[in-house]
Structures are given as C-alpha cells and as structure tokens.
Amino acid sequence: MRDLLQHLWTHYHYVIYIALMLIGLYAVLAKGNLVKKVIGLNLLQTAVFLFYLSIGHKTGGTVPVLWEGKPDAIPYENPLPHVLMLTAIVVGVSITAVALALIVRIKAAYGTVEEGEILALDEADGQGGS
C-alpha cells in the first residue's frame, strides 16, 4: 500500500492525465447536451496533450536550444512530444470547429441541442427513409 502510494505520488502526472481523461469520457458519454459533449471531447484531448508533454519532461530540463557549454542532449527537454502535440492541438481545434458548425446546423434544423429531444423528433419522423 505504501509502495503504491509512493508510486502514485512520484508519478502524479499520470494520475492527473487519467483523471482528466475519465472526466472527459464521462462528459462525452453521459451528457445529453451536444455542446457539453464537445467540451468533454476537448477535455479528453487535453488529457492526452498533458500526457505527451509530461513524458518529454526532465527534472531541471531546459529549452532545447543549443546553450554555450551544454553541447550534449542531457540538460534539454525532449522537444519531439511538444512538436507532436502542436499537430494534435491543430487537429483538436479542427474537430471542435467541425463539431460546433454541425451543432449550429442541428440547432437550426431541429430547434434543440439536446440529444434526447433530437432522437424523439427523429422517432416522430419515422425511421428508415434515405
């Protein structure tokens, strides 16, 4: 038990990322409001960003720019996860943009952004059809 607690304490960044991820997943799955689902999705993605950044971190690490007197790679933070997350953030923004655009259109077409009400309206329209 002591070992486990110590392990969690020294690896607190994993605890944070998993907690954030679960909160995000919960929001996506349990919330009925379409906008809240998108917020949950953003939380989920942010958790992954933090996970990546934390695996590139070193205690006492510094900016990966060549400093005088520090010619080897040891004192620098790993820049690669940061670069990867730059791409992933752009992807996340695009997904959010598409999702919000769809929500605007859904609101115009159905008059609501609540999942339950949309499904009820579809039910009333009758299933099937093209």
Residue range at the interface with another protein (CB under 8 A); choices 3-11, 58-66, 67-75, 122-130: 122-130
Binding mask 21-60 for another protein (x = CB under 8 A): ----x--x-----x--x---x--xx--x--xx--x-----
- For another protein, the closer of residues 16 and 25 by Cβ is 25
Q: What are phi and psi of 62, to 5 degrees?
A: -130, 180
Burial class (CB in 10 A: 0-12, 13-18, 19+), 123: exposed
**Does 10 participate in binding another protein (rule CB under 8 A)?**
no
Token reading at 71: 């010619």
> Do residues 40 and 34 lie in contact, with contact meaning Cβ atoms separated by under 8 Å?
no
Interface residue with another protein among 16, 23, 39, 103 (CB under 8 A) is 103
- In DSSP notation, 28-83 reads HHH--BHHHHHHHHHHHHHHHHHHHHHHT--TT-B-SS--TT--SSTTBPPHHHHH
- For another protein, the closer of residues 69 and 128 by Cβ is 128
Residues at the interface with another protein (CB under 8 A): 25, 28, 34, 37, 41, 44-45, 48, 51-52, 55, 80-81, 84, 87-88, 91, 94-95, 98-99, 102-103, 105-106, 109-110, 118, 122, 125, 128-130
